[in-house]
């Protein structure tokens, strides 16, 4: 090839690459603009709900141009007597608001705004198409921040679907088959809308999981929130629009898990179940087209239907599969509310098309028995952020993550997460008191329950290695520990775990997303001013929420699906007193495994439970003794052949900080090294003359 041809080829390649980069940049800018435009349009339908004196605070969303909207029941409870309030819109004005129908069990209510000929309304989506990994936007007025009623937008991802959240009691404020999101939801967001990236309403935000910080008397948002699915809302809208109190439906029967499937163990005489021939011992196979894998799944899906709604029940009797349709019975409230109750017969007539309504969707479209699993996204509905490939990618991250259940000791939670690290059933998790239980249960991603035992403890890293008791033929799908992976600050991550024990029974774990914020030497303590953390090595700091009960032991993956870290125990920064979202880097997990798998003696046998060496760290620095505790921490001497001497610390140096923590006197100097073990690398900043010098030294075992 001649020089001119080579020059032309290189020039052409650079031009192509420049064009591709320009195209990508333009696509990113366009996607950003599309998102901004969507939020601006959607914001016009969001309502700040206020009492007549403009007190209180909650959110809602308008769904019809003539002013009908939905919110949470708990938002309008204070208006139950007068049924009057105000609704603030993004135009800065308030409008008269009338409360219509209520659903106290499912935490729903309908209202109507007046005062304008036409209102901007949110189009209704289809929550049966929502998948883990879908991008979402939550809108509302948290903390009543916007005095002009312009809603706050929080961006996030669907972390789980088909979730169940218990209410104040079994028939009040219960969230069944709801959507779990990692977008921030705070007081004031309740009743506000959850939108997909096309601006379609897919849920009503209402609840969030919080950490209670008794010491600070506050609740800490940890990025776990829940939205009532819009398809549940649709089933209740006809009766809510009529101004009724809508009761939820029931079969009048209960089920339990058995080795032979989900079996009916109680059937009330004259109930819906009795009317279609269900008897004790019959096996429940599907409910309204959804396969029932366990008793928990049945209770979850049953809760999304109002009394009177027609459903198809599939059950097995004496080996024969039976399909029967029946209208659900009312599930009465535990306390009476002075509100006219909906007629279940009227609801059945609406659902079957015999009673017309003026709602912005086809009610009969929801009366099907083939909606599970959901069909793929229809043509032309692919999001601008192209989340469909992401959803498929995320499903593969669930298989190596397990749920761990043990003993509740000294008030600590009895559940956690773990990561499979071998095909034979080895699991790495965070060291915790729950592992002291006589029996450990582990639920793998396929829903199978296994017994497990602890075979190695690392007190320094606060990690533990578990081993599943399994059949020899059972093979698991572990993560790959690739220490050559070099993530960087700003890289996207997914955290897979079971915070708050949200994923009950065989449900899949939760997935949250974020970015790596940076890599630091851990300087932390247990929450509430507890003792310093034993581990003082390097960790990744993330903005993905992981400081939650049940989250320790969660897996951290990069956006390519590679395992890059493991979430540690819940800790708070000693510098800022805030909870830390952090993870052990993959090389620390790999080093832990190498130590755990090293034979304890020459014969190759390993003790049932071993412990990693945890000798206190030695540095060799002695501070000047004059005014020892109160005066500035000058180096008085450095021991010969000590870590400090080899690192270059000199007599007369003034210690400024250790691992980023300010050192002002001898006491803070000692506290900075307290709990550090041999092998820990420490960054020391000293003032030498007029210069600041950063010195890194590795602690060792103290000489004998």
Catalytic residues: 74, 107, 190
Using DSSP's 3-state secondary structure scheme, residue 584 falls into strand
Per the listing, tokens 């003790």 go with 607
629/450 Cα distance (integer angstroms): 55
296/455 Cα distance (integer angstroms): 32
Non-local CB neighbours of 28 within 8 Å, separated by 6+ positions: none
Among 617, 630, 621, which residue's Cα sits nearest to residue 684?
A: 621
Non-local CB neighbours of 651 within 8 Å, separated by 6+ positions: 635, 636, 637, 638
Per the listing, tokens 């920064």 go with 573
Helix (H) / strand (E) element for 671: namely helix 666-673
Question: In the chain, what is the straight-line distance between the N-terminal and C-terminal CA atoms, in Å?
Answer: 70
Written as six digits, the tokens of 673 are 């090294």
CA angle 571, 187, 143 (to 5 degrees): 105
- Residue 236 burial (C-beta neighbours within 10 Å; 0-12, 13-18, 19+): buried
With contact defined as beta carbons under 8 Å apart, do 504 and 163 qualify? Answer: no
* Side-chain half-sphere CA neighbours of 287 within 13 A: 27
573/547 Cα distance (integer angstroms): 12
Q: In 115-217, at which residue ranges do the beta strands (DSSP E only) sit? A: 135-140, 152-165, 175-181, 193-195, 201-213
With contact defined as beta carbons under 8 Å apart, do 486 and 559 qualify? Answer: no
309/234 Cα distance (integer angstroms): 12
* Side-chain half-sphere CA neighbours of 366 within 13 A: 25
Cis peptide bond upstream of 194, omega within 30: no
């Amino acid at each position: 090839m001649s020089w001119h041809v080579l020059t032309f080829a290189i020039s052409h390649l650079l031009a192509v690459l420049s064009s591709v980069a320009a195209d990508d940049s333009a696509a990113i800018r366009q996607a950003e603009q599309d998102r901004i435009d969507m939020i601006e349009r959607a914001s016009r339908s969001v309502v700040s709900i206020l009492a007549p004196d403009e007190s209180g605070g909650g959110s809602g969303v308008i769904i019809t141009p003539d002013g009908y909207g939905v919110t949470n029941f708990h938002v309008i409870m204070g208006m139950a007597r007068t049924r009057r309030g105000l609704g603030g819109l993004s135009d800065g004005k308030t409008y008269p608001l009338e409360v219509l129908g209520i659903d106290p069990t499912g935490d729903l209510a309908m209202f109507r705004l007046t005062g304008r000929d036409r209102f901007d309304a949110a189009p209704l989506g289809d929550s049966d198409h929502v998948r883990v990994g879908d991008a979402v936007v939550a809108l509302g007025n948290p903390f009543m921040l916007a005095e002009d009623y312009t809603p706050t937008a929080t961006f996030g991802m669907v972390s789980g679907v088909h979730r169940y959240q218990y209410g104040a009691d079994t028939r009040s404020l219960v969230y069944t088959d709801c959507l779990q999101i990692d977008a921030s939801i705070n007081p004031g967001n309740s009743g506000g809308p959850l939108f997909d990236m096309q601006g379609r309403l897919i849920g009503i935000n209402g609840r969030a999981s919080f950490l209670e910080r008794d010491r600070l008397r506050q609740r800490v948002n940890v990025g776990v929130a829940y939205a009532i699915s819009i398809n549940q809302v649709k089933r209740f809208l006809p009766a809510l629009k009529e101004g009724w109190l809508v009761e939820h439906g029931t079969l009048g029967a209960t089920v339990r898990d058995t080795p032979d499937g989900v079996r009916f163990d109680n059937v009330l005489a004259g109930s819906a179940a009795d009317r279609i021939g269900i008897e004790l011992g019959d096996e429940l196979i599907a409910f309204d087209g959804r396969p029932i894998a366990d008793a928990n799944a049945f209770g979850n899906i049953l809760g999304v239907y109002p009394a009177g709604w027609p459903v198809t029940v599939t059950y097995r009797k004496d080996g024969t599969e039976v399909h029967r349709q029946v209208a659900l019975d009312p599930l009465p409230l535990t306390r009476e509310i002075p509100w006219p109750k909906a007629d279940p017969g009227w609801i059945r007539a609406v659902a079957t098309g015999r009673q017309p309504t003026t709602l912005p969707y086809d009610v009969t479209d929801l009366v099907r028995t083939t909606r599970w699993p959901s069909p793929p996204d229809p043509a032309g509905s692919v999001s601008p952020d192209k989340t469909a490939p992401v959803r498929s990618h995320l499903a593969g991250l669930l298989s190596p993550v397990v749920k761990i259940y043990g003993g509740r000791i000294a008030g600590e939670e009895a559940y956690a997460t773990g990561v499979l690290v071998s095909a034979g059933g080895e699991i790495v998790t965070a060291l915790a008191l729950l592992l002291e239980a006589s029996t450990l249960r582990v639920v793998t991603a396929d829903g199978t329950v296994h017994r497990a035992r602890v075979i190695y403890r690392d007190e320094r890293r606060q990690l533990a290695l578990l081993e599943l008791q399994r059949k020899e033929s059972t093979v698991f799908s572990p993560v790959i520990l690739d220490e050559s992976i070099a993530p960087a600050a700003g890289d996207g991550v997914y955290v897979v775990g079971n915070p708050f024990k949200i994923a009950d029974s065989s449900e899949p774990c939760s997935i949250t997303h974020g970015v790596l914020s940076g890599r630091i030497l851990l300087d932390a303590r247990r929450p509430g001013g507890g003792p310093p953390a034993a581990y003082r090595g390097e960790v990744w700091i993330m903005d993905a929420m992981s400081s939650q009960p049940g989250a320790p032991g969660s897996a951290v993956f990069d956006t390519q699906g590679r395992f890059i870290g493991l979430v540690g125990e819940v800790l708070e920064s000693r510098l800022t007193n805030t909870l830390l979202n952090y993870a052990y880097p993959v090389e620390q997990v790999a080093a832990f495994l190498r130590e755990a798998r090293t034979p304890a003696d020459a014969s190759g046998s390993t003790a049932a439970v071993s412990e990693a060496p945890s000798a206190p760290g030695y540095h060799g620095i002695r501070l000047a003794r004059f005014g020892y505790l109160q005066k500035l921490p000058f180096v008085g001497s450095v021991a010969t052949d000590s870590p400090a001497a080899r690192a270059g610390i000199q007599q007369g140096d003034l210690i400024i900080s250790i691992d980023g923590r300010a050192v002002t006197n001898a006491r803070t100097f000692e506290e900075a090294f307290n709990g550090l073990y041999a092998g820990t690398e420490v960054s020391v900043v000293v003032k030498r003359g007029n210069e600041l010098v950063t010195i890194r030294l590795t602690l060792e075992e103290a000489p004998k």
